[in-house]
Amino acid sequence: MRPQASDSQQGKLALPEEPAASARADAILRALLSRLAALLSAIREDPRLLCGVILVALVLAAIFAPFIAPYAPLKYHPAIAAQPPSAAHWLGTDALGRDQLSRVIYGARISLSVGAGAILLGGLIGCALGIVAGYARGWIDQGTTVLVDALLAFPSLILALAIAAALGSGITNVVIALAIVRIPIYVRLARAQTLQLRGLDYVTAARAVGTPAWRILLRHIFPNIFSPLLVQATLSVSFAILDESVLSFLGLGAQPPNPEWGTMINDAQPYLTGGTDPWMILGPALAITITVLSLNLLGDSLRDRLDPHTARLLGLRSSTAADSALLDEAPETASEATTEAAPD
């Protein structure tokens, strides 16, 4: 009798959980469908946002390359070397019989990771230096400005080539070289934005009530300059991928036999100039073109949507939420700073 009672009690207790779990699943499904509808509406409003979908597809292809690529990227097949595009090999094969499509998919891992890593590293260092220089002023600002002007005196690609050559060939050294040449861009942008914000009332109020400088920078200044930094980062990734391809083309990036877009173009150069197999360069060239074009168009779209004036002129609807949050940040942060520093 006792086990039966416990079973009935368990059954009674389990009954209310099923509707609750079903309700949670329905709520999650409705939220996903709502977000998908909002995304489709935004793409219809601004087709440039479709480039974001293309970039997501490229990233997913790079992550799941072992499951997507039809062939192993490093396996030689001399019997089918330098074959034109066919049903078995959509982009043909290279001089060693390796499938070009598989190598392009695997090459996205290196090219995208190097571009994103260089911008992330250079952006973090540049933003930190720019915000501190713009807020502190004085000798810190002057020293940072002199350092930035010295780096900007050299063409970015030439400077990256010199740094990569000095450090030696390798993907890590290419990331460091590209990050160094991108630092001045973010220093100047973050410094200019910080100089505009440091004199506003809510920053002055935060300083007056004794809020620490690090808290002002992280809580009140950085969130309000994030939008232009995000747009600049989106545009900079495309140039970093181009520069990385150039350095790999010159032999300073990924080393053979690792698949990388710039290295693949270098391998296909004799066949392009000789006119025997010009299609061999098609795969990596298309990959670079599509990636860079998508990043540029996405950056232009983000710039227009995050600028309230431009968004109103173009009739872009989706920028209002982000803009209102940024515009309302000043009074909210001022009241927060006053509340935080008020004596108990």
Tens digit of each residue's pLDDT (9 = 90 or more) over 288-344: 999 999 999 988 888 887 777 666 776 666 444 444 444 444 444 434 433 443 444
The residue type found at 215 is R
Q: What band does 95 get if pLDDT is binned at 50, 70 and 90?
A: confident
Tens digits of residue pLDDT in 38-71: 778 877 877 888 888 899 999 999 999 999 999 9
DSSP code of 287? H
Could you please report the per-residue DSSP string of 95-131? Answer: TT--BHHHHHHHHHHHHHHHHHHHHHHHHHHHHHHHH
pLDDT cut 90: percent of the chain above it: 41
pLDDT at 9 over 60: no
Which one-letter amino acid corresponds to residue 105?
I
- Per the CB < 8 A criterion, the answer to whether 101 and 76 are in contact is no
Output the CA–CA distances (angstroms, integers) from residue 231 to 23, 106, 323, in the order listed.
39, 27, 14
Please name which of 286, 292, 306, 337 lies closest in space to residue 85, comparing C-alpha atoms: 286
Q: Is the dihedral of CA 17, 19, 24, 25 positive or negative?
A: positive
